[in-house]
Amino acid sequence: MKKIVSFFYCFLLMYSINAQRVCGSLSYLNKMGVPQYNQQELINASQNLFARDTFSNELITIPVVFHILYNNSSQNISNAQLQSQLKVLNEDYRRWNSDSSNTPHAFKPMAADCNIMFCLAQINPSGMPTTGIIRKYTNRASFAVDDAVKYSAAGGDDAWDSKKYLNIWVCNLSGGVLGYSTTPGMQADKDGVVIQYDAFGTVGNVRAQFNKGRTATHEVGHWLGLLHIWGDQKCGTDYVADTPSQSDYNSNCPSFPHVSDCSPNSNGDMFMNFMDYTNDACMNMFTYGQKNRMRSLFATNGIRNTFLKSYVCDSSLAMGASIPSDTLKATNNTELLNSNLTIYPNPVQSFFELAPKNGYEIIGKTIVIYNLSGKVVLKRAITNATEKINMLGVGPGIYFLKVLESDDNKMYKLVKI
């Protein structure tokens, strides 16, 4: 009998762990003494959205580094599993997910392509080539929601510069927690998300109910400033206008419509939103309001603005030296007075000339032109004392030019019209 009881206890425990999504973000922030989000700051940031130094709705690409902490081989998940997670993030944040067709008709007009994508880092913080995947044995059987996983000294792995990389730690979390995230603006060496290893990706070692990679989609949503859709209290708010008020979180997968006592209308809860607590297979959308909230962090002076200038996914730029902070920050006008180059004309219509001054030699050096996402749009060796550069194949916008192997290390802003 005792055996049967303990069997049942184990079964219930396993069942309860498996059945319910547990996001540790709120308890983590409470523990850290951080007000869940500084709402005023986020609202201000949303207003700044229109003062961005980038193009409206341009593609934002976020370089990712995976830190895999394993205590046994099943926790050391495969590259295929990691790639499957990256694919889900890209699909969900572009609304390319095949289950987007499951969004109820009533909510389809609110469902947004956030125009955010993720790439695996190809350059490490020392400027060396990397796969963007770190695997590390840990003698810890599990990690609590206490950030030990983020420090090598505590059995985890130190964060990479959180101004250029989204750090994703994958480990065995204790207490049935599937994941947790920092909120924008927290301490740089803690910045990122932590995900349970078997609630990660869609292939390999994944458990049912959480086998579609939505735990990471949800936690990255927190990392980008989103709150739970029910506002973490009865009929609370997530400060997003187009997510309907709902009484509480939803589990498993309700059928539409699921009306609760604070639903604004008969459409009820948006339980298929990535920021609810439903099963992976039940979630399929972010709203336009959530999209604006997330993208506002990339506005000028926004907390995540530096990601627009991170080029660490371009392996051709691995140069074996530290990556300067704010890599693609244009050199200011005062400093340009002492520069060794003249760019004329700028703005550029079709061609510009690169003319050295002060006896500076450019022949044999390489110039690189980046777009605002840090992607290289043009790279070539200079063969003439005064080089004429063709910009006809490049779309209108703001670009940055840098001369490699150069000691003045300036980043010239180019405008293509």
Active site residue 58: no
* Coil, strand or helix at 113: coil
Q: Which is nearer to Zn ion, 29 or 112 (CB)?
A: 29
Least distance from C-beta 26 to Zn ion, angstroms? 7
The CB-nearest residue to Zn ion is: 23
The 10 Å Cβ neighbour count of residue 347 is 11
Nearer to Zn ion, 231 or 356 (CB): 231
User: Prior bond to 244 cis, omega within 30?
Assistant: no
* Piece in contact with Zn ion (CB under 5 A), picked from 23-31, 74-82, 91-99, 317-325: 23-31
Nearest to 283 by CA among 416, 172, 178: 178
* Piece of the chain touching Zn ion by CB under 5 A; list 22-30, 68-76, 148-156, 365-373: 22-30
- Least separation in angstroms between residue 23's CB and Zn ion is 3
Element at 401 (helix H, strand E): strand 397-403
DSSP β-bridge partners for residue 118? 62
CB of 215 to Zn ion, least distance (A): 9
CB neighbour list of residue 334: distance below 8 Å, 6 or more residues apart: none
Q: 377-393 as b/e, with b when 16 or more CB fall inside 10 Å?
A: bbeeebeeeebebebee
* Catalytic residue (choose from 41, 58, 91, 219): 219
Which member of 21, 22, 25, 217 binds Zn ion (CB under 5 A)? 25
**Residue number with CB closer to Zn ion (25 or 246):** 25
Q: Which is nearer to Zn ion, 181 or 245 (CB)?
A: 181
Find the part of the chain contacting Zn ion (CB under 5 A) among 24-32, 166-174, 235-243, 366-374. Answer: 24-32
Residue 222 CB, shortest distance to Zn ion, in Å, is: 5
Tokens of 307: 């990601």
Kindly give, in sequence order, each residue whose CB lies less than 8 Å from that of residue 40, ignoring residues fewer than 6 positions away.
Answer: none
Q: Is residue 329 within 8 Å of 413, Cβ to Cβ? A: no
Tell the burial category of 70 from Cβ atoms under 10 Å away from its Cβ (0-12, 13-18, 19+).
middle
* Number of other CB atoms surrounding residue 108 within 10 Å: 11
> And the tokens for 339?
């520069």
- Backbone phi and psi for residue 65, each to the nearest 5 degrees, phi listed first: -120, 130
Which CB, 118 or 249, lies closer to Zn ion? 249
CA-closest candidate to residue 371, choices 409, 341, 399:
399
In the complex, minimum distance from the CB of residue 315 to Zn ion, in angstroms, rounded to a whole number: 33
* One of 3, 5, 13, 23 touching Zn ion (CB under 5 A): 23
Q: Choose one: 15-23, 137-145, 287-295, 347-355; the region binding Zn ion (CB under 5 A).
A: 15-23
Give the span between the Cα atoms of 48 and 43, in whole angstroms: 9
Q: Whose CA is closest to 379, among 287, 314, 289? A: 314
User: Smallest Cα–Cα separation from 70: which of 191, 154, 155?
Assistant: 155
Which C-beta is closer to Zn ion: that of 85 or that of 373? Answer: 85
- Name the token pair of 104: 């109820």
Sole window of 18-26, 58-66, 124-132, 140-148 interacting with Zn ion (rule: CB under 5 A): 18-26
Please name the residue that has the structure tokens 């947004």: 112
Total binding residues toward Zn ion, as defined by CB under 5 A: 2
Closest separation in Å from C-beta 249 to Zn ion: 9
Residue 178 vs 313, nearer CB to Zn ion: 178
User: Shortest distance, CB of residue 264 to Zn ion, whole angstroms?
Assistant: 22
The residue ranges that bind Zn ion (CB under 5 A) are 23, 25
Known catalytic residues are 219
